[in-house]
Amino acid sequence: MDKQDVKNLKKRYLVWLYKTTKEAFDKYERKFTQVDIDKDLLSEMENALLGAYLPHEKQNLEKSIEQYKEYISAKEKACLELKYQGKKTNPEFLFLDIKLNAVEKIIARELGKKELEKIKAIYEAEMTERILRSTQH
């Protein structure tokens, strides 16, 4: 095995480590970002409700918006229960955070910062592609 073969093996392992660790970490973080976006959506919908809707339309829309508020509240509660155990942060979340940072540092050291950014971009493109290909909600 020559140096390039060894470097390729290391790179593939580091890419795999990044992918698996990032996916596990994102399971925690994505819920919080979703709640933030859901709250922004709610605000936009409430502003639209103030617009030019007839009274009978507003009544149905208000009901749907109230249901959406309840959905957001339940989602936020589930997020907090996932990330925190009582007043302490979930140890698995902390471990994944530390591991992801360590993997990124090693990739930057072994392959360079540009390669780390490339790996991150490829990962993001793959995750976005999965969403766009998905037939489930």
Structure confidence at residue 87 (pLDDT): 83
The pTM is what?
0.81
Domain definitions of the chain by residue range: 3-133
3-40 pLDDT tens trace: 888 999 999 999 999 999 999 999 989 988 999 999 99
What CA–CA distance (Å, rounded) separates 82 from 47?
31
C-beta of residue 124 within 8 angstroms of C-beta of residue 22: no
Sign of the dihedral through C-alpha 82, 83, 86, 90: positive
What CA–CA distance (Å, rounded) separates 56 from 54?
6
Q: Residue 53 corresponds to which tokens in the numbers above?
A: 């809707």
50-101 pLDDT tens trace: 776 777 778 888 888 999 999 999 999 998 888 888 889 999 999 999 999 9
- Chain center to CA of 112: 25
Structure confidence at residue 137 (pLDDT): 59
What CA–CA distance (Å, rounded) separates 53 from 41?
18
